[in-house]
Amino acid sequence: MEAVAANEAAVISLTDYAAVYDVLEAAAPALQDRALLNLTSATPEEARAGARWAAGRGAVQLTGGANSPPSGIGARTRGTPRCSTRSAWACSGPPC
């Protein structure tokens, strides 16, 4: 919870959304007015449900995916696809 509260944004990448909820539920009070970049693998409906879950706790979720092996993270030739609502991008960057 301290890490979420200390920053305007949090990044999370877990095995599934059940794990995301388990981890973040304890930090729910700190999610208010935060951006949550969620790189957890999911179906589109699971990602939408996750965005609703975050919104219910005062956060905005940006959904993305790590599209690289660990050795390629940060390389100019690798990307991280992401998508969210326009309101989510208003605080974090351009829409996809």
The pTM assigned to this predicted structure is 0.72
**How does pLDDT run across 28-83, given as a tens digit for each residue?**
999 999 999 898 888 889 999 999 999 999 999 988 876 667 777 677 776 555 55
Give the 3-state DSSP-derived string for the chain, with helices as H, strands as E and coil as C.
CHHHHCCCEEEECCCCHHHHHHHHHCCHHHHCCCEEEECCCCCHHHHHHHHHHHHCCCCEEEEECCCCCHHHCCCCCCCCCEECCHHHHHCCCCCC
